[in-house]
Amino acid sequence: MPELEVSHWVILIAAAFFGGLIDSIAGGGGLISVPAFLAVGFPPHLALGTNKLQASFGSLTAAFRYARKGLVDIKEMVWAIVSTAIGAATGTIVIQQISSDFLEHLILSLLTLIFFYTLFAKDLGAHAKPHRIGKPLFYLVFGLTLGFYDGFFGPGTGSLWTLALIVFLGLDMRKATGHTKVVNATSNVTSLIFFLVYGTVVIPVGIAMGIGQIAGAWIGSHMVLTRGVGFIRIFFLIVVAATILKMAYTTYF
C-alpha cells in the first residue's frame, strides 16, 4: 500500500462519492475511481482490486434501492445472478494470466456503436416493449459474457448491460438501469472475492471509499427513481462518450 497523505484520502473518498453517483445512474463510475487510485500512487493491480471493494458498496446500495422501489424483481434474476457470477469468476482468474489489449480494442468498438445507436434512436428505452428472446437464454448468454468482461477488464460493462436489456428484453431505460445494477453488483462482489484471494485489495482504503460510494449511489438512484427516462438517456450518452474517450486515449496515445 502506498503512503497516503490526508489530501490523498480526500481525493479517493470524493472520487468514490462521484463514482457511486454516476455508476448508479448510467454506469462508468470506474472512470473516476480508477484514475484517482493511480493518481495517488496505487500500482495498477492494487488499484483494480481495491476499486472492486469500494465499487461493491455502491452497486449493492443502488441494487437494493431499485429492488425496494419495484424496478427489479430479484427472484426473476436468479439465473442472471448465477450466470454473471460464473462469468465474473472466470474473467477475474483469466486477467491474472493474460493481457487485456485485444478485449480493450473490441469493447472500444462496441461502445462506439452503442453511443451512435443510442444517439440516433430517439425513443430507445422510452417505453417497455415485447422481449425478443427468452429471459433464461438472455441471462445465460449475457451473464456469462458480460460477467466475464467485468471480471476481466470492466470499463463500459454497465452500458453494455443497459443496452442489451433494452434491445433484447424490451425494458425501458429506468428498469434497464435497475436490472443493470443487480448484475453489476454480482460481478463486482464475485471479482472482489478473487482479488482478495490474490491479495490485491487494500481493505482500509476500500472500506473508507465504500462510505462515499454508498452516499453517491443513494443520491444517484434517487435521481433515477424521480426523474424521467430522458434524463437517464442523456446521462447514459455522456457516460458512454466519456468511456470511449478514456479508452481511446489509453489505447492509442
Distance of CA 144 to the CA centre of its chain: 15
Asked if residue 90 is part of any domain, the answer here is yes
For residue 33, how many C-alpha atoms fall within 13 Å in the half-sphere facing its CB?
A: 35
What secondary structure does DSSP assign to 11-34, as a single string?
Answer: HHHHHHHHHHHHHHHHS-THHHHH
- Domain assignment of residue 49, given as a range: 6-252
**141 belongs to a structural domain:** yes
Considering the domain boundaries, does residue 181 fall inside one?
Answer: yes
- Return mean pLDDT, the chain: 88
Average pLDDT, integer, range 199-210 = 96
**Cα angle value 173/72/65 (rounded, 5°):** 95
- pLDDT, residue 128, reads 74
Decide if pLDDT at 99 tops 80.
Answer: no
In a domain, residue 81? The reply is: yes
pLDDT of residue 182: 96
Q: Please, which pLDDT band fits residue 247 given cuts at 50, 70 and 90?
A: confident
Note the maximum CA span of the chain: 54
Q: What is the mean pLDDT of residues 13-27?
A: 93
Locate 56 and state its grid cell. 461493491
Whether the per-residue pLDDT at 103 is higher than 80: the answer is: no
Q: What CA–CA distance (Å, rounded) separates 173 from 251?
A: 30
Number of C-beta neighbours around residue 213 at 10 A: 32
Say if residues 213 and 61 touch (Cβ distance below 8 Å): yes
- pTM value is 0.86
How crowded is residue 204: how many other Cβ atoms within 10 Å of its Cβ? 10
**167 three-state secondary structure:** helix
Q: Mean pLDDT across the stretch 47-64? A: 94
Number of neighbours of residue 141 by Cβ within 10 angstroms = 15
Confidence of residue 100 (pLDDT cuts 50, 70, 90): low
C-alpha cell at 29: 463510475
pLDDT at 75: 87
CB-based contact 149:91 (threshold 8 Å): yes
In a domain, 161, yes or no: yes
When pLDDT is cut at 50, 70 and 90, the band that residue 151 belongs to is: confident
The total number of structural domains in the chain stands at 1
Between 153 and 236, the more confident residue is 236
**62-91 pLDDT per residue, tens:** 999 999 999 998 888 999 999 999 999 998
What gap in Å lies between CA 155 and CA 100, rounded to an integer?
12
Q: Say yes or no to pLDDT of 14 above 90.
A: yes
DSSP annotation of 122 reads T
Residue 1 lies in a domain: no
pLDDT, tens digit, 9 for 90 and up, residues 152-204: 777 778 888 999 999 999 999 899 999 999 999 999 999 999 989 989 899 99
Q: What angle do CA 172, 236, 63 make, to 5 degrees?
A: 65
Let me know if residue 115 belongs to a domain: yes
